[in-house]
Amino acid sequence: MTAEQAANANAAPAARASEVLLDGLFTGMIGAIAVALWFLVLDLIAGRPFFTPALLGSVLLHGGEAARQVTIAPLEIAAYTAFHFVVFILVGIGFSWLMTLFERFPIMFFVILVVFVGLQFAFFGLNVFLGAQLLGELKAWTVVVGNVFAAAGMAFYQWKRHPSVLGKIERLWMDSET
């Protein structure tokens, strides 16, 4: 093997890793923006713009007791927004990595499905856990709808990036029926 062939062989996995990271970044940003816009719309309808990130930022920075008197302040909004985007980007990178594996190993569809359902239960459980601290300010249905918007946007982006997955899912179901 020549030095050039060895360099090309080593460059291919690095390029794939950078693609997964970049796809994950975009995937996570799509999910984070979908949820942020959803709660912005709800807050605007309620006449309290940026209330939800201020509420969650107050709890994040100052604990549950801070939920009793929420002040819409830049620090709390920025802290929660940064936390929110980092979490979504990490989830997006994981999702992107799973989709890359799914292209090679179609059985990964079931792993993705279990991870998705697990994340939904985790977010719902976190909402229930924090519900006592948030004094009913953040309704469970709003979190569920926000998660559906995020999941739909993230899945749509990944589907566009990996168009062969629908055929592979169909073949998985056809193979399981026989």
**Mean pLDDT calculated for residue range 24-29:** 97
Angle ∠(54,123,135) on CA atoms, nearest 5: 45
Mean pLDDT of the 12-38 span: 89
pLDDT band with cut points at 50, 70 and 90 for residue 1? low
Q: Residue 167: what residue type? A: G
Please, which pLDDT band fits residue 135 given cuts at 50, 70 and 90? low
The stretch 155-160 carries a mean pLDDT of 92
Mean pLDDT of the 22-29 span: 96
Reported as a single tens digit per residue, the pLDDT across 50-108 is: 999 999 898 888 887 777 788 899 999 999 999 999 999 999 999 999 988 888 888 88
Would you say 122 and 91 are in contact if contact means Cβ atoms under 8 Å apart? no
pLDDT computed for residue 141 by the predictor = 81
Lowest-confidence region among 39-43, 104-108, 167-171:
167-171
